[in-house]
């Protein structure tokens, strides 16, 4: 079970991603499966520019609460950006890159966080329609 601070952080990140039209958001509790983080937030973007916009929005929104990424991979124009906040790792992908790496199935044993836990009011895949 995630602590309140981590749940708040993943919710803020999910809402920031949704505000930039991310879709297929998935939150995974991976703390029992790995030693380097407690949860993942996976989300998709329509293109490389949107990947960057989503990642920037997440960083800005969390910075406003005092959280800064410990590490960032794929900054700028990229088909995959990884944001490591310590207790949470955010992956923002294009659809093709997400399908290629298959993190959703790789971490298939991890419990998923529902939309209420992510703080979004609609199913994550409907935002694209």
Q: 47-89, pLDDT tens digit by residue?
A: 999 999 999 999 999 999 999 999 999 976 789 999 999 999 9
Beta sheet of 23-29, edge-to-edge order: 71-73, 80-84, 88-94, 39-45, 23-29, 112-113
pLDDT score for 122? 60
Q: 62-71, pLDDT tens digit by residue?
A: 999 999 999 9
Instruction: CATH number of the domain at 107, please.
Output: 3.30.460.10
Give the end-to-end CA distance of the chain in Å, rounded to a whole number: 32
Residue predicted with more confidence, 113 or 129:
113
pLDDT score for 127? 47
Number of domains in the chain: 1
What is the C-alpha separation between 52 and 93, in angstroms, rounded?
Answer: 9
Residue numbers of the domain that contains 21: 4-113
Tell me whether residue 124 is in a domain: no
DSSP 5: H
Tell me whether residue 65 is in a domain: yes
Q: What is the pTM of this model?
A: 0.91
């Amino acid at each position: 079970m995630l602590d309140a601070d981590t749940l708040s952080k993943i919710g803020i990140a999910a809402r920031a991603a949704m505000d930039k039209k991310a879709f297929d958001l998935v939150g995974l509790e991976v703390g029992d499966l790995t030693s380097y983080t407690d949860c993942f937030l996976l989300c998709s973007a329509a293109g490389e520019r949107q990947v960057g916009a989503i990642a920037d929005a997440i960083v800005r929104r969390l910075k406003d609460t005092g959280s800064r990424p410990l590490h960032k991979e794929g900054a700028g124009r990229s088909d995959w950006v990884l944001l490591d906040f310590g207790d949470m790792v955010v992956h923002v992908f294009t659809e093709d890159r997400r399908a290629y790496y298959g993190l959703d199935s790789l971490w298939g044993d991890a419990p998923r966080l529902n939309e209420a836990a992510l703080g979004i009011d609609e199913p994550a895949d409907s935002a694209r329609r």
